[in-house]
Structure 1
Amino acid sequence: MSTDTETADTPADPSPLATGPVHSRLVVLIGLLGIALVGTGFWMAGGTVGLVAAAGVGLSWYLLSSLYAIAFGHAALLWLVPAVALLPGLIISELGLFVVLVAPAMDTDNSRVYLVTTVVVLGGVLLAGLGSYWWSTDLRIAAGALLGTIAIGGYALYRYELVRLDLVEESDLP
């Protein structure tokens, strides 16, 4: 027996033409809000060309996944925004891309944990980049610090998953 509350939380039925991921209505609404923010920021940064790029971000989000939309959005930002310019359009676009990034978490059981973890990790990476730029005022050093932070974080996550999945034997421990 099906009720309206059960169907609201389950993913929508895919149409025969849909090739992208299937999400619940809440995820789609949050994702559309993020795409609207991306469109606003891109329009502020690049005018009509920015709106075309935002449409590309929206299509990649709808047809592929949010990760492809994030990658396409950042590639478009590199093209739209001048180097080292902190424009309001850039900030709004990044906020929209963040919303697109965390929207699929609303389908998980622990959406709050996922959201808090994402905010903490992105905040740490942002602080590492801004702190190294403030310390050295050289963009190359800040980029190297960001790359190092991401590499160390990725390796730490890899090691954590090895332990969590019980793939490390007693002889491998120091």
Structure 2
Amino acid sequence: MPKAKGKSRRQKYNYNVNRKKLNRAFRKRATPRIKCSQIRRAWDRTKSVAQNLAEMGLAVDPNKAVPIPKLMQQVMNMEVDGQEGKKRIVQKPYVLNELQYEASLPEKKSETLSRDLIDYVQHMIRNHGENYKAMARDEKNYYQDTPKQIKRKIDVYKRFYPEEYQAFCASL
């Protein structure tokens, strides 16, 4: 079979390329991009991924860290219960501690309602009080919500903004 035309010619050295710069760029692209700041700070470039994670007390393979017990393995483990596998020494426990502290922080509620929905609900309550059938016939009911749908929207508003709802009802 014939070869491609370009492949038979000998390769020429390109003097216009900075090999040192090219090598640095390649090494930079090859390193993993670590999003977690705690792990990024403790990472050692000279060691492998498995070694780095073992030093931090983290698992490389979750299946090996917490294996799914099988019936046969349980029987074998009962017979040889005097011996245990080798324990790994955690050299960087501060990484684990920081990760646990960050995980224990309460999650900030980011649930909000749109300004349009809040204005819509307040308009309905201001004009009709608790009469959901009248709300369904209101001209501001652009989406033609049924009385039950309007009641659900008002309940959501009450749940998301209880203080604001109490203040709004008090002002009426």
- The two structures share one fold, judged by TM-score above 0.5: no
**Which structure's residues are more often helix, by fraction?**
1
Higher relative contact order (CA 8 A, sep 6+): 1
TM-score (norm 1): 0.19
Structure with larger Rg: 2
